Structure 1
């Protein structure tokens, strides 16, 4: 069975990104449908896969990480308008039954992602 997982690392503080709201959307043409909303745990991971089982189908998806809210909770001064508010990552799931891991390394001014394992 395929599954999608994620992990957030706060590169500004050198810690896991705990208590970050993450939304998953499915993209079909011009249609964007919210599938799930989760929050990262103390280790910057979700307690269960973001997508798995029968819900896991091939296609185009989008994860939205609410990072400005996270940094505000940590008393980081982001100014009136933060440089990064929500980090949006669009990606494809092309292999049924595969494990896709989408890590996010983030600071208030930069982010990086890749297909992890």
Structure 2
């Protein structure tokens, strides 16, 4: 059964990114449809898959991580406007039966992602 999962690592502080707002959208051309909004748990993970089974369809998706709000909440002093604020990751699901893990490694100054397992 296919599923989509995520987690966030705060690379500036060497810990999970806890309580970060994450929005999931399905994309269809220029149209963007909101699917789900979650907040990461204390381990920086979603408590459950963002999508799984029949809800995971092939197509294009977007995850929006509210990283700038997270860093502000934990007291990191960053200039306004923030260099890293909302991190938008667009990706494709080609096999709806596979596990797609899309993590975010983030600091106030940089971010990266990869397809995990």
> What is the TM-score normalised by the length of structure 1?
0.98
Q: Deviations over 1:61-104 (max 9, x none)?
A: 00000000000011001122100110000000000210000011
Q: Which residue of 2 aligns with 1:83?
A: 83
- For the aligned residue pairs, the C-alpha RMSD in angstroms reads 0.6
Q: Deviations over 1:36-82 (max 9, x none)?
A: 00110000000000111221100000000000000001100112210
> What is the TM-score normalised by the length of structure 2?
0.98
* Structure 2 residue ranges without an equivalent (≥5): none
1:56 and 1:75 map into 2 onto residues whose CA distance is: 36
Structure with the largest fraction of strand: 1
Q: Which runs of 4+ in 1 moved over 6 A?
A: none
What is the total number of aligned residue pairs between the two structures?
117
1:105 and 1:2 map into 2 onto residues whose CA distance is: 23
